[in-house]
Every structure is written in structure tokens, then in C-alpha cells.
Structure 1
Amino acid sequence: MGILDGKNILVAGVTMDSSIGFAVARVAQEQGANVVISNFGRAMGITRRIAKRLPTEPPVLELDVTDEEHLERLPALLGEHFDHLDGVVHSIAFGNPETLLGGKFLEGPWPDVAQAVQVSAYSLMSLTRACLPMMSAGGAVVGMTFDATVAWPAYDWMGVAKAGLESCSRYLARDLGPQGIRANLVSAGPLKTLAAKAIPGFEDLDEGWAGRAPLGWDNADQTPTARAVVALLSDFFPATTGEIVHVDGGYHAMGA
């Protein structure tokens, strides 16, 4: 018996089997959840292939969180598989690496910044709002962040977008709390994902992390992060909302 036994979970933003979303889907299934995953566009073919590598092949929905039509039809698509939804995982972010990352903060053009904020922050609200018709008390929303309380090398406008995401999660916690729905984030250390590879200078973020983190850090292991997400989706945190849980080996707590 797992901590998500019988729960219905949407994991939005699964592309590769190295992604955090994939690891969350795997651990959620191992803990008894019924899982649906999503992606959109050209990546759909990849997502459908890697879905077969999960313990149970889940349905794959097409969902572009910036497309209002996709969001409007989401409850109906979910309804083909579930009669209700217990949890939503937001594992979605994008910032144009050619204009917004890798030391380009002062040159970042507004259209690209706006896109990064919409995809990486605003979509937490829009995805949650789309799922609300299928959710009730006891439900949980969990998103992924990278500690936005400080400025990081190379991260630039994605850091700003993540700050927006963190604020968005707190406001969701405020507005969804009366309905008994929790909203939390997991702040992971640097992981070797497809998104990380797109960041020019990612190695500057990654370098030295394991040496400074009291527990050490394996940047190729998504499982600790996935377990934290699954724990927040479960009933083991019934009074926790608006929180950011760090899964970074303790790096965030160290001054030097």
C-alpha cells in the first residue's frame, strides 16, 4: 500500500525520462496513484515513447498551458480517465536560452521575458484553474522551482520567472485554502535534465554544489525530488500550504 493509493494525479510537463516530471510519475505510480501525463506539439511523440518506460503506461494528453482552448478542454480530457482529480504537478518552464540566459540579463527583450513568465509562472495558476472543476477538499497542487531568493550565475530571467512562480504559489495557497486544496513548491538542486542542458553556463550553477551541500548532491538522481513531490501530493501534509520544500542536499541553508 502506497501513500498515493487510489489517487488520481496529472503530471504536466513530461518530455524525457531524465525529466523531473517523469520521475514524479514513476514514484507516484509506485505509491499507488493513477497517473496521466501531458505535453504538446512536436514533443508529444517523445512523451508517448517514454511513457512506455513507466511501471504502467499512462494516458498522454496534449496540453499547451499557454493555449486557452487546451485549458478549457482539459477537464473533459481528464474526465475520460478519472471521475475526479486529487493532485496536479506543474513541471513546466521555458525561457529562450539565446536571449534570456547565460549572462544576458541586461539584454533580455520583453517579448521573450513575457513568454518566460507566462510559461513558467502564470501557467501555475492557469493550469490549476483549469483543473479545479475536478478537484475538491484534500487536493494538492505541486510545482517545481529553483530557489529564487538569490541571483544565480547564468539563470538570469528564468530566476525572475521562478520568483513569480513562488509568489504565484503563495497566492494560490491563499485562494484555494478555503476549498481545502493545498499549493506548494519543491525547490530542487541542479539536476541534469533537458531543461538544464538548455541553460548556457549551467556548469557554473552545478559546480561545487555537492561539496557545499551537507548531505552531498547527485545531479543525475531525480528520485529524492520526486519523492518530495509525491509526499506533498499525499495526505501526510494535510496542513501544509504556501510552502517551498528544498531538496538540495541542504545547500540552501549554508552560508559558505
Structure 2
Amino acid sequence: MSEKVEKKESTFGETVKVIVQALLLALVIRSFLFQPFSIPSGSMMPTLLVGDYLFVSKYAYGYSRYSFPFSPNLFSGRIWSGEPKRGDIAVFRLPSDPRVDYIKRVVGLPGDRIQMINSVLHINGEPVKRERIGTFSADGNYETKVNNAPVYRETLPNGVTYETLDAVPNSATDNTRVFQVPEGHYFMMGDNRDNSADSRLSVGYVPLENFVGRAEMIFFSIGDNTSPLEIWKWPSELRFGRLFEMTE
């Protein structure tokens, strides 16, 4: 009888050990390598959609307090720092409320002058190349429904190219003042230019310390506001064409 009890205790102990090891491994991966991130709004359409789930590389920009769960105040600044590049899609902590994660595109580097003139992005006084390539309509229920919105392909000075929306001509953010990006900060914008809270508005300039990581790949995507746990809806709602798509 005692042998059976000892065997059960040994099996239970091994199970606990495996679970603890798995949790520690997951914590290390999440803190130092990759963190999953879901898209909460349509501000990055058409590049990223609500229902997209991404892997964000933590090592791309080095590590700050915001790289770790609960943001422990162990040090300031970044260690093994890497600089965000123009055109990167990055997750960062909102400067006014570091508890909140945002995801936008880096368009302005430290020292840059950024301005929107008649819907065209200008960097240091030069218009960014922009060409109309089609239209876009969103699936699901968004705060602002997008139907047949003009799609433009932008090409930044460093050659990075991506698609943007101009759903509302002559909107409040289509013409702005000149923004002078401070040293150590970055200017972030959503690809859905008329429906994005970004550096043109309340977000402001984003300090390097607030960067969490760079978006790398869509590993899962499901439409029509469907929860990933609703497996029975996968055949009709899963966006198979977006699975394992690299972000740009």
C-alpha cells in the first residue's frame, strides 16, 4: 500500500516539476524572445486587421523595463539597445499611460520634421512617394466601418513600402503642423490614416524606452469579431491567407 502511495506522490511531483519548467520556459520566451499580441482596433488597416494575432520580437530593440511582465522598475533606458527603423511596425507603451500597449508604424526618427499636407506624408520637407492602387472594405464590426476606402502604396526614403487608407478626404489629420521629433523619441502613425490615435494626436512622441518590440509575423487570424476559442467557427471565419504572413 505504501509503495502505491509513494508512486502516486512521485508521479504528482514529476507533473508539478514539468508544469513549473514549462511556465518558466514560457516566461523566458515571452520576456526575451517573442510575445504574442492581438490587434484590438482598425487603426492599422489594411496592413493589420482586428482578429490578427502577431509575434512581436522582444530582442529587436533591446530591453527596457517594459519588456518584462508587470514592468518592474529595475533599470532605466534600454540594454543591448537596437534602434527602430523607419517603416517598422512596433508595439510600444503609451507615454501618457504606460500600462497600455499600442501598435503603429515608425515614420519619424529623432530629429525629423514630420507633416501631413493634403493627405500626403512629408518627411523633412519632402513628400513621401504615394500611388493609388485600389480600394479596401473591412469585414466585421468596427467602430468606424470602412467601405471601398482608397488604398495608397507609400514608399519611405529608405525603400520600405506598405499600404495605407485614406477613407475620409480632408479629415482633421490630413493637414497638420510640422512636428519636430525630439532626440531619443519617435513619431508613430497608423496605416488607417483617418482613424488612428497616433503621434499626430494624443499619443505624441514615443521615447525609445517605451518600445516593447517589432511586429514580425501573423501566426493566427480570424474575422467577424470571432473568438479564437470558438473553434466551430474556424472553417468559415479563419483567414487562411493571412496565416504565417510576415508583416511589412
TM-score range, shorter chain: under 0.3
User: Comparing both structures, which one devotes a greater share of its residues to helix?
Assistant: 1
User: Comparing both structures, which one devotes a greater share of its residues to strand?
Assistant: 2
Of structures 1 and 2, the larger Rg is shown by 2
TM-score (norm 2): 0.25
Structure of higher RCO (CA pairs closer than 8 Å, 6+ residues apart):
2
